[in-house]
Amino acid sequence: PERRLLSTGMPATRFVHCVPVPVGRPSPTSLNGKDLAMPGELSVHFLPSLVDTQDLAGATVVVIDVLRATSTIATALANGAAAVFACAEVAEAIDQAARLPAAEVLRGGERAGLPIEGFDRGNSPAEYTPDAVAGKTIVFTTTNGTRAIHHCRHARQVLLGSFVNLS
């Protein structure tokens, strides 16, 4: 089944798991019927604060928070989480979790590298095992990664990159 990364305040965003292409074979030009042609321009922004959210409107954006957030989201989805809500703020995560059936939700994340009091999980991919997350909806907030995802709310498409889904 398709699993989804959701972020409150922005359109639903699909998590895309990259499939490696064997060495010696050309890269695919389409995936699931969608054209993979590269745009004529590629912009790199090292921090969300270096680009206005409106400048991302209509663009395809790749958020890379290699050390934790995107790796944790990818791991949770790969291990069977039904969905992940990426929330910019702790209060937003608490409100989002309260709208979901308690037995089906896990709250996870960190602030300044520390687990959030009252949350079920921190920000380590190791905490998002199949036994812990299978069938659950994860409501997730981090100091940097989920805020970067939220910063892209006007983009046409948001993809998440990390070492665990690198290909």
Per-residue pLDDT of the chain (167 residues; tens, 9 = 90+): 455 555 544 434 333 333 333 344 444 555 556 665 555 677 888 888 888 989 889 888 888 877 789 999 999 999 999 999 999 999 999 999 999 999 999 999 999 999 999 999 999 999 999 999 999 999 999 999 999 999 998 998 888 888 887 76
Cβ-based neighbour number of residue 122 at 10 Å: 18
pLDDT at 68: 87
pTM value?
Answer: 0.76
pLDDT at 21: 37
**CA–CA dist 145, 88 (Å, integer):** 9
